[in-house]
Amino acid sequence: MSVPDAPVTGAHPRPSGPADGGPARPSRLDPAIAARLRRTPDGLVTAVVRAHDTGEVLMVAWMDDEALHRTLTTGRATYWSRSRREYWVKGATSGHHQYVRSVALDCDGDALLVSVEQVGAACHTGHRSCFFTELPVDAAGDRS
Amino acid sequence: MSVPDAPVTGAHPRPSGPADGGPARPSRLDPAIAARLRRTPDGLVTAVVRAHDTGEVLMVAWMDDEALHRTLTTGRATYWSRSRREYWVKGATSGHHQYVRSVALDCDGDALLVSVEQVGAACHTGHRSCFFTELPVDAAGDRS
C-alpha cells in the first residue's frame, strides 16, 4: 500500500524517464499503454486534437492515464483540467461534443494526437479552432 | 539587476495566471506577444507542428519566449529542449529543416500551432510524423 501523504500512483510498471512523475491518480488504463507514456511531473501528456475529416488542428488539452482510458473506451474525448483539477468530457456542458475516431501516441510517449468528429466549435470562444490568433513571422519560408 | 541565484526573468510585463511562471530565461520576444503567453511553471508553451501544405501533424515540442522569438524572426523552427536545457534548431544536425510559414497562438496563450515546410522526416526515428503509433479506440465514433 502507498505511504500516507505520498502521491497516489498506479500499480503497473512504467518507464522512469527524468520527466515522468508516473500516474498521478488511480487509473484503469491498459498497463501496456500506460507503460509507454512519459508524463510531466504532474502526470500528464499533451493531447493535440484535430478534426478527423479536414485535419484542422482544433485545440490542445491534457490527459492523465485515466482521461486517456476514458477517451479510448467511451469514444468521447475526456481531458484533465489543470486549473479545476478534475476530468472534463468535451461537450458535456457546451454540447460541442468530440466523438473520437482515432488516437495516436507520439514517438517518445508524451503527446497524443486525437482525431475527432467535432460538433460545433472546439474553442470556448465560439471559434471552430482555438488557434485563431496569427503571430507575425518576419522571415516566413526564408531558405537563405 | 537580478539577485544572484534568483531565477532569471524577462523585464517585460506579463500575465500572472496560476500556471504562468513567467519567462524562465532572458528573451528578445516582442513584449506585446510575451504578454499573451501563459507558460508552464518552467516557462514553456506547447508547440504543435504541422505541415503547411497537407496539414499533417508532425510533432510536438516546447518553446520558451526566446525560442518563439527566434522562430518568428529567423523562419527556422527553434525549440527548447527540456532534457538538454538548451535551444535547438530543427534540422541543425539532421538536415531535416523546418521552414516556418505561419505561427498561431491559441485562445488561452499556452499553445502554438507552427505551420512549416518540412524537409525530410520530422521524427528522429525517420518517420515523417512522430504520431505513428495508433492506440485502440474501443468505441470509435460511437454517438449512442
Quick check: A60 and B48 CB within 8 A?
A: yes
Nearest C-alpha of chain B: how many angstroms from A20? Answer: 12
Closest CB to A111: pick one of B60, B100, B102.
B60
CB within 8 Å of A97: residues ≥ 6 apart: A76, A90, A91, A118, A119
- The grid cell for B55 is 496539414
Mean pLDDT of chain B: 86
**Interface confidence (ipTM) of the complex:** 0.84
| pLDDT reading at B85 higher than 70 | yes
Quick check: B141 and A99 CB within 8 A?
A: yes
Quick check: B46 and A50 CB within 8 A?
A: no
Q: Per-residue pLDDT tens for A97-131?
A: 999 999 999 999 999 999 999 999 999 999 999 99
Task: Using an 8 Å CB-CB cutoff, list chain B residues near A135.
Answer: 33, 68, 72, 103-105, 112
pLDDT more than 70, % of chain B: 82
| Lowest-pLDDT choice from A11-20, A69-78, B20-29, B97-106 | A11-20
Q: What is the pTM of this model?
A: 0.85
Closest CB to B131: pick one of A75, A104, A130.
A104
Provide the pLDDT confidence category of residue A21 given band limits of 50, 70 and 90: low
DSSP, res B142: -
Q: Per-residue pLDDT tens for B86-128?
A: 999 999 999 999 999 999 999 999 999 999 999 999 999 999 9
Give the nearest chain B residue to A136 (CA atoms): B72
Closest CB to B57: pick one of A50, A125, A131.
A50
Provide the pLDDT confidence category of residue B21 given band limits of 50, 70 and 90: low
Contacts 24+ apart (CB under 8 A), A2-6: none
User: Residue A51's closest CA among A93, A2, A97?
Assistant: A97
Q: Which of B107, B108, B117, B118 to mutate to test the interface with A (most CBs of A within 10 A)?
A: B107
Q: Do the Cβ atoms of B143 and A99 come closer than 8 Å?
A: yes
User: Residue A134's closest CA among B59, B100, B123, B39?
Assistant: B100
> Residue B139: what pLDDT?
73
